[in-house]
Amino acid sequence: MSTSVLKFDNVSLSFDGVEKVLDSVSLEMNAGDTLIILGAAGTGKTVMVKIALGLLKSTSGRITLFGQDVTHFTEPQWLTIRPRIGMLFQEGGLFDSLTIEENVAYPLVNRTKMTAEQAKPKVEEALKFVELGHTLDKFPSELSGGMRRRVGIARAAVSDPDLLLYDSPTAGLDPITANRIMALIIQEREIRNATSAIISHRFQDGHMMANFRYNPESKQLERMPEDSPLRQRTRFLVMHDGRIVFEGNERELDASRDPYVSKFSMHRSIH
């Protein structure tokens, strides 16, 4: 029996009391699941993951994290549960005034009693994983967009969270850099075995997550076998105007005839 990691029951959010930015969203993620959240800009994807992290408060509905009802958590209560979640922010969220090393060490130093010295080996390992071992003393402004994204991934994953949320990891990147980031996320999923949710507007990202795994022996991505459990556990959501308009696996996504949904499937050109 798999354990529930994140559960939304009819979660809605409205900033101005009139227009619903999130409209009765229900979803569930179990341990080991991969969820790919697709949708055009402004459809509420970021808002949804920020609610899951307690950064925004829903207007109605119920949110459960790791089996705990967190709907009415206060900020101090959230502080106890957030260390179990790693988040890559769409706009980066790297601290301008800190070096790359200090940025990646931040979750360790700030939340545990670890000193910067003690954190250093883990920080170096996390940065080496994203192939940025040489940038420890640089500042975020000195790195390219793709590199900053990778630092963000390292910071999200450095504390070994149980749930990883990637908000638009490939947005604004060229296709080559974007594929490299996706390869890292697939690698991260394989090695940490964390439950992950990936927001994207590119159908290729979902396709990669659903069909490829990282082989630690050959150190390369390889196509998953048809019966791989990972394949079963990869699901797609399509968001439209604050609502979930599609939920299912890749085959079902490809088969959808809905003009909006099929924009996000591999075989969109056929329809």
Ligand X SMILES: Nc1ncnc2c1ncn2[C@@H]1O[C@H](COP(=O)(O)OP(=O)(O)O)[C@@H](O)[C@H]1O
For Mg ion, the binding residues (CB under 5 A) are 46, 90
What are phi and psi for residue 65, nearest 5 degrees?
A: -125, 125
Residue 36 near ligand X by CB under 6 A: no
Look at residue 96 and give the partner it binds from other proteins, Mg ion, ligand X, none, a contact being a CB closer than 5 to 8 Å depending on partner kind. Answer: other proteins
| 44 contributes a contact to ligand X by CB under 6 A | yes
- CA 65 from chain center: how many Å? 15
Residues numbered 185 to 224 that lie near other proteins (CB under 8 A) are none
Q: What does the DSSP 8-state code read for residue 176? A: H
Determine contact, residues 163/5, Cβ cutoff 8 Å: yes
Contact region with other proteins (CB under 8 A), list: 81-89, 189-197, 222-230, 232-240:
81-89
Q: 224: which 2 tokens?
A: 């998953």
Which of these ranges, 23-31, 39-47, 142-150, 153-161, lies near ligand X under the rule CB under 6 A? 39-47
- Measured distance CA(177)–CA(173) in Å, rounded: 6
Q: Does 87 bind other proteins (CB under 8 A)?
A: yes
Among 1, 41, 176, 270, binds ligand X (CB under 6 A): 41
Amino acid at 111: R
Residue 107 interacts with which of ligand X, Mg ion, other proteins, none, CB < 5 to 8 Å by class = other proteins
If you search the block for the tokens 């009391």, which residue do you land on? 17
Give the dihedral sign, CA 10/11/13/17. positive
**Of the candidate residues 39, 44, 107, 206, the single one contacting other proteins (CB under 8 A):** 107
Taking the least distance from each CB to other proteins, the nearer of 82 and 189 is 82
53/239 with CB nearer other proteins:
53
Say what the alpha-carbon torsion angle 75, 78, 83, 88 is, to the nearest 10 degrees: -80
Dihedral (Cα; 203, 209, 214, 219), 10-degree rounding: 20
Please report whether residue 92 would count as binding other proteins according to CB under 8 A: yes
Q: Does 57 bind ligand X (CB under 6 A)?
A: no
CB 91 to ligand X: min, Å = 10
Phi, psi of 188 (to 5 degrees): -60, -45
Is 161 a binder of ligand X (CB under 6 A)? no
* 136 lies in the site for other proteins, by CB under 8 A: no
Measured distance CA(142)–CA(176) in Å, rounded: 21
CA distance 9 to 165: 19
Instruction: State the residue for tokens 């990669």.
Output: 208
Q: Could you tell me which of 57, 97, 93 has the C-alpha nearest to residue 78?
A: 57
Answer with the entry of Mg ion, other proteins, ligand X, none that 91 interacts with (C-beta below 5 to 8 A by kind): other proteins
- Residue from the set 38, 85, 127, 181 that interacts with other proteins by CB under 8 A: 85
Binding segment toward ligand X, per CB under 6 A, in 44-52, 67-75, 77-85, 230-238: 44-52
- Select from Mg ion, ligand X, other proteins, none the partner in contact with residue 93, using the beta carbon and a kind-dependent cut-off of 5 to 8 Å: other proteins
Q: Pick the binder of other proteins from 12, 43, 58, 90 (CB under 8 A).
A: 90
- Tokens 């969109």 -> residue: 268
| Footprint on this chain of ligand X (rule: CB under 6 A) | 15, 21, 39, 41-47
